[in-house]
């Protein structure tokens, strides 16, 4: 009987360690999958941010071009007003 009890004790210990090992493997697998999901989301975010930066640059260039045109027209109007005001 002592041998049988010892055998059961060893099997119980092995079962516990097997459970711990399976739990560790499952946790590592879940963390790996979660890491992949987070990495994918960050890559998508980075891509979208790059698109926003490109759009902002385009809008800034259009705004500066518009400012130049307005400045040119203001100069033309000022020149015409000075010519009309200076002539008798």
Please provide the DSSP assignment of the chain as one string.
-HHHHHHHHHHHHHHHHHHHHHHHHHHHHHHHHHHHHHHHHHHHHHHHHHHHHHHHHHHHHHHHHHHHHHHHHHHHHHHHHHHHHH--
Segment 7-51, tens digit of pLDDT: 566 888 999 999 999 999 999 999 999 999 999 999 999 999 999
Which position has the higher pLDDT, 3 or 85?
85
pLDDT at 2 exceeding the cut of 50: no
């Amino acid at each position: 009987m002592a041998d049988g009890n010892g055998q059961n004790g060893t099997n119980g210990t092995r079962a516990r360690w097997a459970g711990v090992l399976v739990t560790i493997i499952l946790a590592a697998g879940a963390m790996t999958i979660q890491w992949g999901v987070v990495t994918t989301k960050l890559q998508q975010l980075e891509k979208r941010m790059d698109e926003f930066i490109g759009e902002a640059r385009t809008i800034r260039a259009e705004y500066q071009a518009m400012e130049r045109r307005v400045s040119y027209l203001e100069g033309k109007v000022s020149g015409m007003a000075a010519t009309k005001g200076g002539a008798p």
